[in-house]
């Protein structure tokens, strides 16, 4: 704690440290909600909650600014719960352990929660400050942004009144985000029959670990390995050459994170065991060579384990492995007018089995609705051929950019005045709540910005200390500039 409290701006890092002490994985934000409500009570600020758990806190304008436009400051309370497999951490009970590493703040073996904890901490800092000249402020804290956008979807007319919204959930300092991709979940289910393990077989636990993972939107164009695709590639070959049988599979755990680790329990006949193990080594070497310069710590192992209770029936195994091999993954198309921005992508996020089913979950993103639906149909057609049941749900709209926004113009001018350079105005491939908020509150002007956060949604997440200071300076200046208009 002492490390963070030595940093500037002290108020942001104090509030962020308090957030780190509060377990708040998506869909488990009750303690974070309680925290911001108690914050409002402590500072004698009006607050309101809605049926889904969103919170607003209102701060009156400073004297003389009462008639200025109300500014909505928005961030989400939840965080992505990801950890390295060798770390013992319960995200529903244990605090995050942040530490300073040179120019960055990181966490010990887990996601840091700077996404979107720095945004939340900054809003709290505005609410408690007596040094900012501003008009009326509404702080909007939403829930469950990372796994379902439940908070944004649950917003009702009148919960906020401001016509200008600053979303504090972007991750590159110096960028002003004015548009984002929409998304959709596609989930396939394979029902299987249990078959008794027969004959002389050796069982192995396959483990593919050490990948970087990351955000399935902003990091999807980095060419990082997808552990589900890589493990399936090996198993497809082992099925063909070593009579491998699949008993259980567990790959990835969040739809919006590129999977870093995948595991499977398999068996092979005694006579193929030696060649099977050699093949694991060959594939390990091949993965390292193919992903050189992108992945630096790939591990692929086969550890002998006890013979399991059953095999997944052969037909389901083959249909699963074939469909996963054929499934598209990664970038599908770039935006022609903005060739450095992804238009459409898909992430093979989760593959898990239980006692009777195998579930495959993908997150599709696109800034073009028709392209998103076409990609969903493409994936569904693959699963149809594999006789799996497919559903599409959780669809959310993209955020259409408004290049003529007066708030955007003011923010560009203010940024240049403060830092003597032009900010980048961008559309991003990640999903932001702004698209949904814009549907609920038509005509609201929105811009998203934030400090530099690298590798969100992975245990490598880190936030740059200097950019937090720049972000705070920019945010407080904007509140004062907008108040003058």
Which CATH number belongs to the domain containing residue 207 in this structure? 3.30.70.360
Do 426 and 376 fall within a single domain?
Answer: no
Domain of residue 236, residue span: 184-395
CA neighbor of 439 nearest in space, from 159, 146, 153, 169 = 153
Does residue 413 share a domain with residue 296? no
The verdict on 351 and 379 lying in the same domain is yes
Peptide bond into 116 cis (omega under 30): yes
Show which of 395, 419, 438 is a domain's final residue: 395
Report the alpha-carbon distance of residue 281 to residue 286 in Å, rounded.
Answer: 9
Q: Among 218, 181, 185, which Cα is nearest to 397's?
A: 181
Last residue of a domain, one of 350, 377, 395: 395
**Is residue 250 among the annotated active site residues?**
no
Instruction: Single out the residue in 376, 395, 414 at which a domain terminates.
Output: 395
CA 463 to chain centre: 15
Same domain, yes or no: 245 and 268: yes
Residue 225 near residue 294, CB atoms below 8 Å: yes
| Backbone phi, psi, residue 454, to 5° | -105, 145
Burial of 420 per CB tally in 10 Å (0-12, 13-18, 19+): exposed
377 and 442 belong to one structural domain: no
**Tokens 């501003």, residue located:** 134
Same domain, 44 and 8: yes
pTM of the model: 0.81
Query: What are 181's two structure tokens?
Result: 């991709």
- Let me know whether 390 and 404 are in one domain: no
Query: Of 29, 138, 145, 445, which is the active-site residue?
Result: 145
pLDDT per residue rounded down to tens, the chain (485 residues): 468 999 999 999 999 999 999 999 999 999 999 999 999 999 999 999 999 999 999 999 999 999 999 999 999 999 999 998 889 999 999 999 999 999 999 999 999 999 999 999 999 999 999 999 999 999 999 999 998 899 999 999 999 999 999 999 999 999 999 999 999 999 999 999 999 999 999 999 999 999 999 999 989 999 999 999 999 999 999 999 999 999 999 999 889 999 999 999 999 999 999 999 999 999 999 999 999 999 999 999 999 999 999 999 999 999 999 999 999 999 999 998 888 889 999 999 999 999 999 999 999 999 999 999 999 999 999 999 999 999 999 899 889 888 899 999 999 999 999 999 999 999 999 889 999 999 899 999 999 999 999 999 889 999 999 999 999 999 999 999 986 55
User: How many folded domains does the chain comprise?
Assistant: 2
Residues 6+ apart with CB under 8 A from 42: none
| 382 and 435 together in one domain | no
Residue 348 and residue 229 in contact, taking contact as beta carbons nearer than 8 Å: yes
Same domain, 8 and 139: yes
Give yes or no: 172 in active site. no
Q: Pick the catalytic residue: 29, 78, 138, 239? A: 78
Residues 327 and 420 in one domain: no
228 and 309, same domain (yes or no): yes
Tell me the CATH number at 84: 3.40.630.10
For residue 38, give the nearest of 50, 49, 51 by alpha carbon: 49
203 and 326 housed in the same domain: yes
């Amino acid at each position: 704690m002492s490390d963070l409290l030595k940093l500037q701006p002290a108020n942001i890092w104090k509030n962020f440290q308090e957030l780190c002490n509060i377990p708040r994985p998506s869909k488990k934000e009750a303690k974070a909600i309680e925290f911001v409500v108690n914050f409002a009570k402590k500072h004698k600020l009006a607050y309101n909650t809605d049926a889904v758990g969103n919170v607003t806190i209102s701060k009156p304008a400073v004297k003389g600014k009462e008639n200025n436009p109300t500014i909505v400051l928005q961030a989400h309370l939840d965080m992505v719960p990801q950890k390295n497999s060798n770390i013992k951490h319960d995200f529903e009970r244990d605090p995050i352990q942040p530490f300073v590493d040179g120019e960055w703040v990181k966490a010990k073996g887990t996601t840091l929660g700077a996404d979107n904890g720095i945004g939340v901490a900054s809003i709290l800092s505005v609410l408690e400050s007596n040094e900012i000249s501003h008009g009326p402020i509404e702080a909007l804290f939403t829930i469950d942004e990372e796994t379902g956008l439940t908070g944004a979807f649950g917003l009702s007319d009148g919960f906020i009144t401001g016509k200008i919204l600053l979303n504090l959930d972007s991750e590159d300092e110096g960028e002003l985000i004015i548009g984002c991709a929409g998304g959709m979940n596609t989930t396939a289910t394979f029902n299987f029959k249990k078959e008794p393990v027969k004959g002389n077989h050796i069982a192995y636990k396959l483990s593919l670990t050490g990948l970087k993972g990351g955000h399935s939107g902003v990091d999807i164009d980095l060419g990082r390995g997808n552990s589900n695709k890589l493990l399936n590639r090996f198993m497809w070959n082992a099925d063909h050459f070593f009579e491998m049988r699949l008993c259980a599979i567990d790959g990835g755990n969040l739809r919006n994170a590129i999977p870093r680790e995948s595991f499977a329990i398999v068996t092979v006949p005694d006579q193929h065991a030696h060649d099977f193990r050699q093949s694991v080594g060959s594939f390990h070497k091949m993965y390292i060579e193919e992903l050189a310069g992108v992945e630096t710590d790939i591990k692929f192992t086969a550890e002998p384990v006890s013979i399991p209770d059953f095999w997944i029936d052969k037909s389901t195994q083959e249909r699963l492995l074939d469909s996963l091999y054929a499934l598209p993954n990664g970038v599908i198309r770039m935006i022609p007018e903005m060739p450095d921005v992804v238009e459409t992508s898909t992430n093979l996020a989760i593959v898990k089995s239980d006692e009777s089913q195998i579930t495959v979950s993908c997150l599709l993103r696109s800034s073009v609705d028709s392209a998103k639906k076409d990609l969903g149909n493409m994936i569904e057609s693959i699963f149809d051929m594999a006789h799996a049941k497919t559903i599409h749900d959780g669809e959310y709209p993209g955020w259409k950019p408004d290049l003529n926004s007066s708030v955007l113009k003011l923010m560009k001018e203010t940024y240049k005045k403060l830092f003597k350079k032009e900010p980048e105005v961008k559309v991003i491939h990640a999903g932001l709540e702004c698209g949904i908020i814009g549907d609920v509150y038509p005509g609201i002007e929105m811009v998203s910005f934030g400090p530099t956060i690298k590798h969100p949604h992975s245990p490598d997440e880190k936030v740059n200390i200097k950019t937090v200071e720049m972000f705070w300076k920019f945010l407080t200046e904007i509140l004062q500039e907008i108040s003058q208009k």
